[in-house]
Amino acid sequence: MAYKSGFVAIIGRPNVGKSTLLNKIIGQKIVITSSKPQTTRRRINGIYTSEKGQIIFVDTPGVHKPLHKLGEFLLEEAKMSIPDADVILFLVDGTEPAGKGDEWIVNNLLNTEIPVIMAINKIDLVKSPEKRAENIESYKKLFAARPVPTVTISAKTGRNMDDLLNNIYRKLPKGPAYYSEDEITTQDMKAIVAETIREKVLRNTKEEVPHSVAVMIDYFHEKEEITEISASIYVEAESQKGIIIGDKGSMLKKIGTEARIDIEALLEAKVFLDLHVKVRKKWRKNPSDLKRFGYTP
């Protein structure tokens, strides 16, 4: 059997389970997840290697109508992953029928010669067989002029992952491995740590606060006995700063504790984590701030 390798761009609307799927395939948490839209803000490579070949998955931000400069960056991140892909994995939410957002993605982003595979996620959550069939058919109709391989999956439980991977390998070109077998991501450790902290903010806060958060690592020093990390959590308003700090610092302590536990598991080392909350007004609309926080193409 010929060894295959290539890049697979995961495209879909916000909250369809792209990051959950990537973590499940890789077998380790390399991408943050939450129920909040726009959790993923950058293209993130996850590397899956088997005896059949090497798949470099590119997790992209959810495709949605941009409301500010950050939103424009997120849409551009998704768009930029497509021309370089060998295969496009279009992930959709099977708990509801195809909508205008899915139709827009198919007509505007997937109108390409690059092979497309559609994965219908969360279909196991639909109890009615009739409703399941209706939802699946609504997505297949999006490709009426160009039928594509379709797999029903559960990113959470791993259902039908082998079927999905086999479909991807069929479409990948022959080629050598781009990375060594033990590599699972191209992200550097500081970026993963910053995203881990942001995830804990997302999971512990409500309303507009999660979307207004950016995290920067100010200090990262690995010693033999402990790794010292200092990070700043940026928000857009004083009221948001107060929410993240919480009563007598309780929320910030909770965020820090949860983040430290995950970071220690990641680094396999003791961690001292020092967090600060700062206000940067309207940073999502400011090109220089976006660049400062790393949100540039």
Q: Please give the DSSP secondary-structure letter assigned to residue 250.
A: H
Last residue of a domain, one of 139, 171, 203: 171
Residues 64, 204, single domain; the answer is no
Q: What is the pLDDT of residues 231-266, one digit of tens each?
A: 999 999 998 999 999 999 999 999 999 999 999 988
Last residue of a domain, one of 114, 141, 171: 171
| pLDDT at 1 exceeding the cut of 80 | no
CB < 8 Å & 24+ apart, contacts of 204-210? 204/251, 204/254, 204/255, 204/258, 205/243, 205/244, 205/251, 208/240, 209/235, 209/240, 209/243, 209/244, 210/34, 210/36
pLDDT at 259: 95
Residue 212, in any domain of the structure: yes
Residue 35, in any domain of the structure: yes
pLDDT at 119: 97
pLDDT at 111: 87
Helix (H, G, I), strand (E, B) or coil at 173: coil
Q: How confident is the model at residue 83 (pLDDT cuts 50, 70, 90)?
A: confident
Residues 10, 93, single domain; the answer is yes
Q: How confident is the model at residue 169 (pLDDT cuts 50, 70, 90)?
A: very high
pLDDT at 36: 47
CATH code of 282's domain: 3.30.300.20
Residues 167, 263, single domain; the answer is no
CATH code of 131's domain: 3.40.50.300
pLDDT at 42: 54
Question: What pairs with residue 120 in β-bridges?
Answer: 92, 152
* CA-wise closest residue to 256 among 215, 212, 208, 211: 215
Angle in degrees, CA 91, 160, 3, rounded to 5? 85
CA atoms within 13 A on the CB side of 245: 16
Residue 179, in any domain of the structure: no
Residue 238, in any domain of the structure: yes
**pLDDT cut 70: percent of the chain above it:** 86
Q: What is the pLDDT of residues 31-73, one digit of tens each?
A: 645 454 454 445 567 889 999 999 999 877 666 555 556 666 6
Taking residue 253's Cβ as centre, other Cβ atoms within 10 Å add up to: 13
pLDDT at 60: 74
Residues 51, 108, single domain; the answer is yes
Alpha carbons 263 and 255: distance in angstroms, whole number: 12
- DSSP secondary structure, 88-123, as one string: EEEEEETTS---HHHHHHHHHTS-SSS-EEEEEESG
Take residue 4 and report the two structure tokens written for it.
């295959």
pLDDT at 190: 86
Q: What is the mean pLDDT of residues 152-174?
A: 95
Residue 178, in any domain of the structure: no
Residue 172 phi/psi, 5° resolution? -75, 145
Residues 232, 123, single domain; the answer is no
**Domain range for residue 282?**
189-292
| pLDDT at 199 exceeding the cut of 90 | no
Residue 183, in any domain of the structure: no
| pLDDT at 228 exceeding the cut of 50 | yes
Residues 48, 145, single domain; the answer is yes
Residues 131, 213, single domain; the answer is no
Residues 24, 93, single domain; the answer is yes
Q: What is the mean pLDDT of residues 77-83?
A: 75
Residue 182, in any domain of the structure: no
Q: How confident is the model at residue 27 (pLDDT cuts 50, 70, 90)?
A: confident
Q: What is the mean pLDDT of residues 174-179?
A: 92
CB 7 within 8 A of CB 13: no
Residues 143, 18, single domain; the answer is yes
Residue 23, in any domain of the structure: yes
Take residue 90 and report the two structure tokens written for it.
């279009």
pLDDT at 291: 82
**pLDDT cut 90: percent of the chain above it:** 51
Report the mean per-residue pLDDT for the chain: 86
Query: Between 227 and 63, where is the model more confident?
Result: 227
* Tally of domains within the chain: 2
pLDDT at 21: 92
* CA-wise closest residue to 14 among 59, 80, 68, 57: 59
Residues 69, 196, single domain; the answer is no
Distance from CA of residue 31 to its chain's centroid? 6
Residues 150, 37, single domain; the answer is yes
Residues 246, 164, single domain; the answer is no
Q: How many residues does the chain have?
A: 297
Last residue of a domain, one of 171, 200, 223: 171
Question: What pairs with residue 58 in β-bridges?
Answer: 9, 45
CB 285 within 8 A of CB 241: no
Q: What is the mean pLDDT of residues 95-102?
A: 93
